[in-house]
Amino acid sequence: MTRSKNTPLYLTAFLLFLGGVGYLCWSGFSENSIYFLNVAEARTLSPDKLVNARLFGTVAAEGMEKQAGGAGVVFRLEDKDNAAQTIQVAYSGVVPDTFKAGAEVIVEGAIKPDGRFAAKTLMTKCPSKYQKENRKS
């Protein structure tokens, strides 16, 4: 008979446990959620939506400048499908060797009030020279 007296206690403890786990999952996902957008999509959003975003596109041929006195680069990121859609990106850090005009890149960071995208991370897509060559047998 003591078993039936403890059932509400166990049920309450189980529900509190589930509520705690649910809250931790929800707060973890909401803090770490990152928008993954192309340039055209990013340009349509308000700056408050781009506090934590990941953009992909192609490095424009014009407007690329190495930052003076250290690592980093300022460049224009073009939309992959519409080269007229661009956004200026400022990155302070080690620039990958494969970074060049025409390279496909992914940048992660936030939009600043001046309209520039301040990138914390810069990744380049592996160029085709790393892909396996087709050989005739």
CATH code at position 122: 2.40.50.140
Residuewise pLDDT in 10s, the chain (137 residues): 455 678 888 888 888 988 888 888 776 665 556 667 888 888 888 777 778 888 999 999 888 888 777 788 999 999 888 888 899 999 988 888 888 888 999 999 988 888 889 999 999 887 555 555 555 54
Predicted model pTM: 0.65
Is residue 110 within 8 A of residue 51, CB to CB? The reply is yes
Residue 97 lies in a domain: yes
52 and 22 part of one domain: no
**Same domain flag for 24 and 81:** no
DSSP secondary structure string for all residues of 40-66: HHHHHS-GGGGSSEEEEEEE-SS--EE
Q: What whole-number distance in Å separates Cα of residue 108 and Cα of residue 116?
A: 13
In a domain, 29, yes or no: yes
In the numeric block, the tokens 């446990």 are attached to 17
